[in-house]
Amino acid sequence: MRIGLISGEFPPMPGGVGDFTRILAENMQAQGHDVYVLSRAGGAHEQLSVSTVGGWGAGRLLPIRRWARRYALDIVNLQYQTAAYDMSPFIHFLPDAIGVPVVTTFHDLRHPYLFPKAGRLRDWIVMRLARASRGVIVTNREDEQLLQSVTKRRMIPIGSSIKRSALATSERAAYRRRLGAEYSLLLGHFGFVRPTKGVDHLIEALARIRNSGSSVQLVLIGERSNTVDGDADSRYLLALDEAIRQHGLEDAVHATGYLPDNEVSAWLSAVDLVVLPYLDGASFRRSSLIAALHQGCAIITTVPFVTEPAFDHGENLWLAPPRSSEGIENAVLHLLAEPEQIGVLRAGAEELSKTFDWNGVTSSTLAFYRSCL
């Protein structure tokens, strides 16, 4: 097949959807398909054909149509996450304008994040895109429920963009020594730091745990904000830094900044617990959670809003109530006192990570394309 992938972000820009698009394209190309990527200015790849546009307004639909014709595409897969398209409404009319069958992958349909002031118009325009598409792919149970009226749909989880690289005991110790402090437990958080991630609750929990006498440290792994919509979270980041200062945690909270994938993998291996206190609960939509599972980490996260049978409290995840620093505190203290439970969680995470194998993700996606053609 001649496949076009459209994404509002693409490496070297940081971002989960861009990384997903890159790996999917690489895997499809490796299986013998001709793959062409379209993204915003700045996207590039040495082995893939990457075309770029300067924005996503109404005037870009015609150049996208020309791009699809130029490469004689059989099908186009739109990777949909509105923030990555600058909140432009025009991307929703792509299936009507492009002249090629469009499959839309919905990465995130949460109301607070997409068009927060649009009201009913927001629901209408998203459903319009879904129904105008030849087929839709959802990545999680929540979005599957929202799009249950769309008959041609398939749930295909995302894979991890971070390749696993196990650390030897001496290498793990060397990473931990970089923080320059003695501590009983090292917590880690991975991914962009924004209000929905609940990192403010994690900071509050860290302060109380340390006040109780435990020498716990926290490392924030990776870039704190992305280049597409980073300004939206600036006030939250400033407030978070102020909370760290007020609690006297400057020496206990460490931020790595942007890291290449191998360094992210190493830090995920070096921490004792990964804490991901999402305000809206654990979900397959969360690339940071998928990465930590793929790495075989012991993970504290929050109870999902929509039941996900694969999540098993105490076996592959430790689930705490959302929006609760006390819940995080209790979970950390429990696991600090029961180190064997950390081993159980690591083994469970490795088993669950098989759900997100990239060979399975790619094969399922290609099969869905064929069914749509």
Q: Is the pLDDT of residue 181 over 90?
A: no
Q: 176 lies in a domain?
A: yes
CATH number at residue 46: 3.40.50.2000
Q: Are residues 28 and 80 in the same domain?
A: yes
Give the residue among 92, 164, 145 at the shortest CA–CA distance from 284: 145
What is the 8-class DSSP label of residue 113?
Answer: T
Mean pLDDT along residues 153-177: 90
- pTM, rounded to two decimals: 0.82
Q: 352 lies in a domain?
A: yes
Q: Is the pLDDT of residue 13 over 60?
A: yes
* Chain segment 315-336, per-residue pLDDT in tens: 999 999 999 999 999 999 999 9
Q: Are residues 362 and 293 in the same domain?
A: no
pLDDT of residue 124: 83
Q: Are residues 141 and 185 in the same domain?
A: no
pLDDT level of residue 112 (50, 70, 90 thresholds): very low
Q: Are residues 277 and 198 in the same domain?
A: yes
Q: 237 lies in a domain?
A: yes
Q: Is the pLDDT of residue 188 over 80?
A: yes
* Chain segment 345-355, per-residue pLDDT in tens: 999 999 999 99
Q: Are residues 89 and 177 in the same domain?
A: no
pLDDT level of residue 226 (50, 70, 90 thresholds): low
**CA–CA separation, 314 and 180 (whole Å):** 32
* Chain segment 68-104, per-residue pLDDT in tens: 999 999 999 999 987 788 878 889 999 999 999 999 9
Q: Is the pLDDT of residue 289 over 90?
A: yes
Q: For the chain, how many residues are written?
A: 373
* Chain segment 126-143, per-residue pLDDT in tens: 899 999 999 999 999 999
Mean pLDDT along residues 31-51: 96
CB 226 within 8 A of CB 257: no
- Mean pLDDT, the chain, whole residue set: 92
Lowest mean pLDDT among 40-54, 221-235, 244-258: 221-235
Which tokens go with 179? 């923080």
Q: 16 lies in a domain?
A: yes
Q: Are residues 177 and 267 in the same domain?
A: yes
Number of structural domains in the chain = 2
**CA–CA separation, 75 and 99 (whole Å):** 10
* Chain segment 235-286, per-residue pLDDT in tens: 899 999 999 999 999 999 999 998 998 999 999 999 999 999 999 999 998 9
Q: Are residues 95 and 117 in the same domain?
A: yes
**CA–CA separation, 341 and 106 (whole Å):** 35
Strands 2-7 and 75-80: parallel
Query: Of residues 124 and 212, which shows the higher confidence score?
Result: 212
Q: 194 lies in a domain?
A: yes
Range of the domain at 31: 2-158+357-372
Q: Are residues 255 and 180 in the same domain?
A: yes
**CA–CA separation, 50 and 43 (whole Å):** 7
Q: Are residues 336 and 361 in the same domain?
A: no
pLDDT of residue 113: 47
pLDDT level of residue 11 (50, 70, 90 thresholds): very high
Q: Are residues 174 and 148 in the same domain?
A: no
**CA–CA separation, 358 and 20 (whole Å):** 10
Strands 135-138 and 153-155: parallel
pLDDT of residue 347: 97
Lowest mean pLDDT among 57-71, 96-110, 112-126, 135-149: 112-126
CB atoms within 10 A of CB 298: 24
pLDDT level of residue 115 (50, 70, 90 thresholds): low
Q: Are residues 227 and 261 in the same domain?
A: yes
Q: 164 lies in a domain?
A: no
Q: Are residues 192 and 304 in the same domain?
A: yes
